[in-house]
Chain A
Amino acid sequence: MLASKVVGKVPRNLREKIRKFLAKQPHLPYVGPFSLWIVLFVIAPLGVILYFSFLTTGAYGGEIFPIFTLEHYLRLWRGAYGIILLRTLLFAFGTNIVCLLIGYPMAYCIARRGGRWKATLLFLVIIPSWTSWLIRLYALRTIAGFAGIINSTLLSLGLISSPLGILFNPYAVMFGLVYAFLPFMVLPIYASLVGLDPSLLEASVDLGATPFRRFLTVTLPLTKGGIFAGTILVFIPALGSWLVPLLLGGAKVMMAGNLVHLQYMTVGNIPMGSSIAVVLVAVVLLIMYLSIKLGGEDALERIL
């Protein structure tokens, strides 16, 4: 009724035109809002920083001139920046591998041996990620500190003579990254494991395969969708991580995310920050493309 009151205000032939248009594109009212939103608030901003990355800056971090230049990208190849980008890639890749090595067995264990506790076990994996990252990371920092529980336990057990400097180095950052992203690897792998057709496994047993062989040739390839979904959910955010290196690295370990923040905020060099962001986005898109290509449609399905 309300609808007809509103519609009644629109002139007749316009209404007809709209109706015909909508009939041809019935999907529009559903996907329309989101499409508009993503163009306005995701693609446009990305386009904006792409644009900015090619602009020249004046005096250090000063005004910006609309003159095309590649100087910021060239700067990425020189000096400390290139190293930081490489280190970021390495860390993200390392985090991915470690999460895979730990997460797969975990998912396997829950899926195959979980029984009626499956749902609960899954929730136990997810819940910590519902608490603020900040608080968890800070709790990690306290535990791992010189006076923290780890060190005091080791000390009292006599295993070490002086406290270990566990924090504020690249290993701590790596640990923090794995710690933060592990659930995101476990979930998609679990989902794909659970979706496995058991008859396939039975068939391979009938054909005489050992458990190990079975895993390698049947389970693993079939769960590849989950693996690549996990990769998307781990590798990519790890690339952009800012908080973990800041808090656990003692601000001594810089990753790409920190660099973007440094340029955008501390130095105020928006084009430089944008160029790093653009490179990050390019790497992200590449990883996504590869993962989807290698993981298949299944990978897309598995992201949640």
Chain B
Amino acid sequence: MNGTMNTTDSSVARRFFNSTLVAGAALCLVAGGVGCGRTPAASFRLNMVEATKQRLTAEQEKQVATVLLAMFGTPDEPTCLPETGLDEAKLRLAAGPVRSDIVGRKNGLYREHCAHCHGVTGDALGPTAAFLNPYPRDYRPGVFKFKSTERADKPTHADLVRVLHNGIPGTSMPSFALLSSAQVDALAEYVKYLSIRGETELSLMRAFFELDDDAQGKLPESREFLVDETLSPIAEKWKTAADAQIAVPPMPTGIDLVASIAKGKELFYGDKANCVKCHGVTGLGDGQANDYDDWNKAIVEINKEISSGSEKARETSTSGMSAEDLDEHRKQIAWLAKFDSVLDGDALRPRTIPPRNLRHGIYRGGRRPLDLYYRIHAGINGAPMPAAKGTVPPEEIWHIVNYIRSLPYELDGELGADKPMLARDRF
């Protein structure tokens, strides 16, 4: 009895042991063979919102993609024509998958630090973007908010480096001060590259509308059209950005700080600058709440067009329509439906832009008096903040700056507290 029991036990045990060994070995082989999976190479996304808006056909979209590929390369292998004025070596440092080169330098900086919000194409459609408030910047329209140049001009290279170095307080844009200056430089260059590429794409897509009939819906692929007429004007604006830098007069000396703040307060509440209209009579940013920045406004306008177009299409009776008209009508309905689905996948849900609460002491574009001067003088490009240039003389802008800087520290015991409290702590 014992003998048979032992044999049975031992053979069961042996079989179990052997089978686990075999199973483990098999698993290792499978895992080793299959590997961790290979991700496909990254590719730029076409600006589907614009393509749909311009009613491009599939062939036209393909032509735009091919032209952009020839002019700008891929996310892994960027190229740029000399007309762009960009440094291709810096682009290569920033582009591609994260890896170290033979000198031990980190490459793939954009993908490591930026792509998850700003997207591989710089279209603010990265996986994190929808969760952020405010949304990350979409570089494709070539509009940037925080810079030292006049409102409609591009930021200088130093402006981009400053934003990368300081981050944007009050938003999810972090400070990259811990990267080396060569790395920050490469990233700024890559942002310019994505912006120039995005603007070129928009320009090409809009050019289809201007074509005459014998072009047969195809853009000319001559150097003259693509480079001289399309790319160069865009690149020129970037190259000459430094010329558009705002000339800042020195702070007025004949007046002391308290008097300057008092003057600034008058201007803040006055009609010339009319700051209270948006920033509110207490500076809390509650003057109005219905406006949009340019990126969100574009989507809002498209949504309006889709809903009014859909309503019109629904109300149009198709009885008694000619064959042509019926065809047009059906095409319109198909286009409206397509646009709706493109917005689902290729656009962020629009949000209003609240005017800044000036009591917090958080200034997105920088807290130096100089930065506040720039914001007031040129306004904020892409946002409803208007330029005071022309309406408010430069010296008076400095008074407003001093008033703004005093707002978080205004002591106010009027709201029933027996101890005056700093505005920035109360609000």
Q: Do A and B come from one complex?
A: no
Interface set of A (CB-CB < 8 Å, partner B): none
Interface set of B (CB-CB < 8 Å, partner A): none
